[in-house]
Amino acid sequence: MKTFLTSLVMGFWGALAVFVSTALGWHTWVLFIAWVSYYLFGKNLKSSANSFLVILLGILMGVVIRLGAGWLVPIIGKVGFPLTVFVCIAVLNYIAQIKLLGNLPGWFLGLIIFFGAHPTMKPLPILELLIPVIAGFAFAILNDTGVKFIHHYNLTKEKN
């Protein structure tokens, strides 16, 4: 019964996440990247906040790469893009030495979100990427809370 109830909870939150993101025109895959990040990087508020921070910084690094490449490509040609990537990723290795910013997979998830979504280089489209990221963490927390409730309820029930 516990597996059945857990499946219902997970299915409900997954379906609701897809419905909401589709209805609101969000990138559903961005929402699920954040959802998975909640589970990959620790299922608590502190690790979620840290994961959100580095995903956000990864998105900003994507902006820096696009701007840097946009500046360099007219000067040195197509090599300007990989050169910008090289410099940014090399610098990231040093930034990651700071404990709070050391989650390298989170940085790369932010880069994936930025380059996968192809936002126009204006503040609003870039900031709009944060909405499904926040929603993804929220749905993951709701899902995890529901599953924990079922497990707690079943343990309490088994003791009685």
Q: Split the chain (160 residues) into runs of 10 and give each run's mean pLDDT.
A: 87 97 97 97 92 98 98 97 98 97 97 97 96 97 92 65
pTM of the model: 0.90
Q: Which 8-state DSSP code applies to residue 78?
A: T
The total domain count for the chain is 1
Identity of the residue numbered 155: L
Q: 150: domain range?
A: 2-159
**Spatial contact of 121 and 59, defined as CB atoms under 8 Å apart:** no
CA atoms within 13 A on the CB side of 34: 33
User: What pLDDT is recorded for position 2?
Assistant: 79
CA separation (Å) from 94 to 24, 61, 76, 83? Answer: 38, 14, 26, 17
Question: What's the token pair of residue 73?
Answer: 């490509």
Distance separating alpha carbons of residues 116 and 98, to the nearest angstrom: 27
Residue 107 has φ and ψ, to the nearest 5°, of: -60, -45
Question: What's the token pair of residue 48?
Answer: 């979620």
Q: Tens of pLDDT along 53-89?
A: 999 999 999 999 999 999 999 999 999 999 999 999 9
